[in-house]
Amino acid sequence: MAGTLIVTGGSRGIGAASAILAAKRLGCAVAVNYRKEKAAADKVVAAIKAAGGKAVAIQGDTAVEADIVRLFAEAEKQLGPIAGLVNNAGILGPIGRVDAAPVKEMERLWAVNITGYFVAAREAIKRMSTRHGGKGGAIVNITSAAVRLGGPGELVAYAASKGATHSFTIGLGKEVAQEGIRVNGVEPGLIDTEIQTPGRIEKFGPTVPIGRAGTADEVAEAVVWLLSDASSYCTASIVTVSAGR
């Protein structure tokens, strides 16, 4: 994949693993987006550069439209034409039952997990679509197995936000299929990253059919495959990485 890849929420977890693997395997320059974790983002950039790649860290809150617009402009200015996007930035939102969910927390959840994905995809399409004079590209949206499981008693709002991402992936994939852009999603199951609440991995890991939680690197393999030409006949598709959960 020649060109620049933008990874939102790329400072840690699945985003960081995907950024590093994409740079190594695809040879693309990577814009590592972060909101607060500058030191973590700088470590991802350093890892990419140490392997001979090119990368920059760019701050931006994906709940803020102006920040996303700036992210794309800066990435293009510093690294060159945009060829790919990994919509990865996400939050859990309110944890607990729906009848106790604060509206403010839900609004932030929708802004990051839904609207942020739409706006980032919009900016990518403006630059990559052949309809707009671009050369094509790939978008990978990170969804979740919570879409199927529902998250009762704990993460119903999060599951709902990822359900929107799932539908968005299918619809957008079909919308831009003839404009040189492939849009796919990766649906991780229980993955051992910083987003998990305390004790959750220990509690649910043994219940996964394979007997353990997954790693960010295992999810990154699917992300990078979908970005690559090896998945050239895949669009509007969701790849599940959940070990049967």
The average confidence (pLDDT) of the chain is 97
Give the mean pLDDT of 112-117.
98
For residue range 131-152, list pLDDT tens digits in order. 999 999 999 999 999 999 999 9
For residue range 173-208, list pLDDT tens digits in order. 999 999 999 999 999 999 999 888 888 899 889 999
pLDDT band of residue 111 (cuts 50, 70, 90) is very high
Q: Given this model, what pLDDT does residue 39 score?
A: 98
The parent domain of residue 29 ranges over 4-241
Active-site choice (34, 117, 158, 233): 158
Domain count, the chain: 1
Q: Given this model, what pLDDT does residue 81 score?
A: 98
Q: Given this model, what pLDDT does residue 138 score?
A: 98
pTM for the full model? Answer: 0.96
Report how far residue 207's alpha carbon sits from residue 177's, in angstroms, rounded to the nearest whole number.
Answer: 38
Active site residue 158: yes
For residue range 93-104, list pLDDT tens digits in order. 999 999 999 999
Q: Given this model, what pLDDT does residue 71 score?
A: 98
Q: Given this model, what pLDDT does residue 219 score?
A: 98
Q: What is the CATH number of the domain that holds 179?
A: 3.40.50.720
For residue range 39-73, list pLDDT tens digits in order. 999 999 999 999 999 999 999 999 999 999 999 99
pLDDT band of residue 2 (cuts 50, 70, 90) is confident
